Amino acid sequence: MISTTLKIPQDEYVKVGSVKTRYWRAGNKGSPVILLHGGGGSVEFWLYNIPVLAKHHRVYAFDMVGSGLSDKPSATYCLTYQAQFIKDFMEALGIDRATLIGNSMGGGAALQFALLFPERLHKLVLVDSFGLGREISFGLRLASIPFVVRSLRPNRRIFEPMIRHDFHDPTCISQEWLEIRYPIFALPGRQKALEQLARTNLSLLGVRHSVYRPLVEQLSKIAAPTLIVWGKQDRILPVAHAYVAAKYLPNSQLHIFDPCGHHPHLERPDEFNHLVLEFLAR
């Protein structure tokens, strides 16, 4: 058992279709808010946000299909598949309409959800979101080569540098959080789902044209109020993508954290939480 000053919500499980899905929930008042982690992530990425947001909202975070402690079926893991899974998760828990807060791949899935199921969306928060351009880090482009993901055997030697690379200030993330996250990172069998996710959405040239272009071309159709949040020093998805979203989303506002990397909610949690709560209250 990890000794921690962080209050870790209790794991709960729900069947979403045939997929056993781990989720956390907190808060018993206000409108529903669903937190969506990035590719290969897990609910642990929202540990610094859930307690604050739950003071005013009913907050749900879940391990996306193929990630964390949720089942990892053989699937394409395209954005449409992920968006449908979000909708099915909502139906499984009786959530009619919600705000989606998505980081990285979770943001891409949230954008796809907004286009497919606009009646189920209240507001949208995009946090260094996937799906807004071709550019992505070289390391993730390499992940589209099958043997690359398979050859990565999880161990502590690669885990910490890999995680810290995502932050502008690598010292900002606590050893405590790393100890909580590592067992999820080291789970057996996660490579196959990651490989399918990468091959569907990425190539050696970057994000596949067939993935990001339909999203960008339809941004003007998303009427939901949208908060776009980005770390200026993001090494995974460039800050230029934030301005693409701000240009084409008709009901949006933009906030750039400077300095900050790919996970503003982890690197600058106090400011992030305040910003999101203000946006949701309006």
Amino acid at 175: Q
The helix (H) or strand (E) run that includes residue 125 is strand 121-127
Among 2, 4, 1, 6, CA closest to 266: 6
Amino acid at 70: S
246 close to 218: Cβ distance less than 8 angstroms? no
Q: Dihedral through CA 213, CA 216, CA 222, CA 226, nearest 10? A: 130
Scanning the structure block, which residue is given the tokens 């959405």? Answer: 201
Among 135, 121, 140, CA closest to 38: 140
CB neighbour burial string for 240-279, b if at least 16 within 10 angstroms, e if fewer: ebbbbbbebbeebebbbbeebbbbbbbbbbeebbebbeeb
DSSP 3-state of 117: coil
Question: Residue 3 has what pLDDT?
Answer: 39
What pTM was estimated for this model as a whole?
0.96
Structure tokens at 260: 């900050």
Q: Dihedral through CA 164, CA 167, CA 172, CA 175, nearest 10? A: -20
Q: Taking the mean position of all CA atoms in its chain, how far away is CA 190?
A: 17
136 close to 104: Cβ distance less than 8 angstroms? no
- pLDDT tens digits, one per residue of 200-222: 999 999 999 999 999 999 999 99
Measured CA to CA, the distance from residue 221 to residue 218 in angstroms comes to 6
DSSP 3-state of 217: helix
Number of H helices, E strands in the chain: 12, 10
Question: Residue 276 has what pLDDT?
Answer: 98
Q: Which residues, 6+ apart, have CB-to-CB distance to 278 below 8 Å?
A: none
Question: Residue 150 has what pLDDT?
Answer: 67
Domain extents for the chain?
A: 12-281
- Pick out the chain residues at pLDDT < 50: 1-4
Which CATH number is 12-281 given?
3.40.50.1820
DSSP state letter for 104: T
Check if 209 is active-site: no
Active-site option among 37, 57, 241, 262 = 262
Question: Residue 1 has what pLDDT?
Answer: 31
